[in-house]
Chains A and B, each alone.
Chain A
Amino acid sequence: MSDANWNRLLVGIVLLGVLWIYVSRVPVEASNTPAPATPQTGFTAPDFTLKTINGQSMTLSSLRGKVVLINIWASWCAPCKAEMPAIENVYRRYRDSGFVTLAVNSTIQDNQADAVAFAQRLGLTFPILLDTDGTVTRLYQVRALPTSFIVGRDGKIRDVILGGAMNEATIASKIQSLLSEGAH
C-alpha cells in the first residue's frame, strides 16, 4: 500500500472513530436514570421483606446507607456451613462501621428446624431470614448455594460471589472500600 493510501486509511479511521464515539455516547438521561432492580453487579439490589427466625420482619431497602452482605444458604450445603463462622467474624468486626449481614435461608429447599438449629449452634448474631416460599431465591436467580451479593450504601450490587466457602479475608476485602464510601 502506498504512503498516500496509508494516510487516507488513518484519517478515515480517526474521523469514523470519533464520529462513532460521539454517536454512540451514553445519553445524559440514560446515565441519570436509576439502575433497574436485578441481581447483577451495577444494578439496584431487588427489594424484599422476609421474616427472621425470631419472627421479626426485615426489608432490604430499610438498610439503604449501609453495606449489606446478602448470603443465600441452606443447612445441608457444606460450603454454606463452612463460611458461616467467617461471615460471623466479619459481621462482628465491621457492624459498628455500617455493615449488615442478611443470611437468607433458602427454606424452600431446606428444613426450617435444621436452619434454626444450625444458626443457634454457631451462635450467629446477624439476622437469619427465612425464604419459605422461595421468593428471594427466585428474585435473585440463585442457581447454586451459597451465593452472596454485596450491596453498597447506594443500594447497588457491587459484587456477586457464586459458590463458597468464602474466608474472612475475602469478605473483608470486598466490603472495606464500600464501607469507606460516603459513610452516613
Chain B
Amino acid sequence: MFPFIQVGPLSLQSRGLILILTAWIASTVFEHAAPQSGIKREEASSLSFLAFIVLIVAARIGYIMQYLPVYLSMPQAALALDANTLSWPIGLAAMVAVCYGRIRRRHLSLLGVLDALAMGLPFIAAGLALANLASGDGYGAPAQLPWSITLWGASRQPTQIYELIAAVGIGIIIWRIKPTREGQRFSIFVALYAGSRLFLEGFHGDSTITWGGVRTVQLWSLVILIIAVLLTRRLGQRASPPHSTGER
C-alpha cells in the first residue's frame, strides 16, 4: 500500500495521481483509435475534453445539491473544489448524457465512438485496480493463501492484483480482435469486464450485500453481461458494413 508519494515537502495522494494519469492515457488512446472508427481525431479530442469538464463540474454540482441546506448556509464553500466533495455517480451520468447529445448534434457514429472508447477503457480498469492497490480500497476477503497480502489487519485475497491482471487480459483481447461490425469491440469489452467483475467480486471483502448474503455487484454484473452478449449477437446479425478505415 502506497497511499502517498512524497515530492519534497509535498505528500501527493497516489490514488488521485494514478487516476489522473489513467484518464489522460485512456483519452489519448481514444483519440488515436477514433480515426479507425471513422471519427476525426480533433472531434475525439474535443469530446474527451468536454467529458472531463462535465464530469468534474456535474460531480461538484451533484454533491452540492445532495447537501443543499449546508451549502445554502455557506454559499462561498460551493466554489472550493475538494476531491472529497464530488458525487461521481451524478458526474458520470451527466457526462454520458452531454456526450451523447454532442455525438447526436455532430452527426457522429455512436457505435464508432464507443468502439474507439473501448480501446482506452482497459486502461481505466487497470488504473482503478492500481489506485485501489495504492490506497488499500477494494480489498479482498480474509484468506490464508501463499499469494495473500496483509492489509487492514488481516491476510487477504489480493483482489486489486486480480483485477489488474484481468484488465490487462481484457486489454490484450480488445486490442487484438478484429470486429466485423461497428459497436462489437465495445460490446465485447462490456461483456468481458462485466464477466470479470462477476467472477472477481466473489473474492472481495468490501462487497455491499443484499438478501441471503448475495453481493449486489455480482447481480448487476450478470445482468450487464447478459445484455452485452445479446448486444454482441445482435450487432453480428446486422447487415451494416464494418468500420471504414479513413476519417470522415
| A residues neighboring B (CB under 8 Å) | 1, 6, 9-10, 13-14, 17-18, 20-28, 30-31, 36-38, 40, 42-43, 143-144, 159, 161-163, 166-170, 172-174, 176
Contact = CB atoms under 8 A, between A and B. Distances in A.
B243 to A, nearest CB: 20
Given A13-B225, A36-B154, A173 B63 contact: yes
B77 A17 contact: no
A166 B63 CA distance: 15
Contacts of A170: 77, 80, 82, 84-85
A10 B222 contact: no
Given A24-B215, A170-B80, A176-B67, 11 more contacts: A14-B222, A25-B212, A25-B215, A26-B209, A30-B213, A40-B136, A143-B3, A143-B11, A167-B82, A168-B74, A170-B82
Given A17-B225, A169-B71, A172-B70, A163 B199 contact: no
Contacts of B74: 167-169, 172
B236 interface: yes
B109 to A, nearest CB: 24
B209 A31 contact: yes
Contacts of A20: 198-199, 202, 218
Contacts of A174: 84
A176 to B, nearest CB: 7
Contact of A162 (B3, B71, B236): B3
Which of A10, A13, A37, A174 has the most CB atoms of chain B within a 10 A radius of its CB?
A13
25 contacts: A9-B229, A10-B229, A13-B225, A20-B199, A20-B202, A20-B218, A21-B215, A25-B214, A26-B214, A36-B152, A36-B153, A36-B154, A37-B153, A40-B136, A40-B139, A144-B3, A144-B4, A159-B84, A166-B82, A167-B77, A169-B67, A169-B77, A170-B82, A172-B67, A176-B70
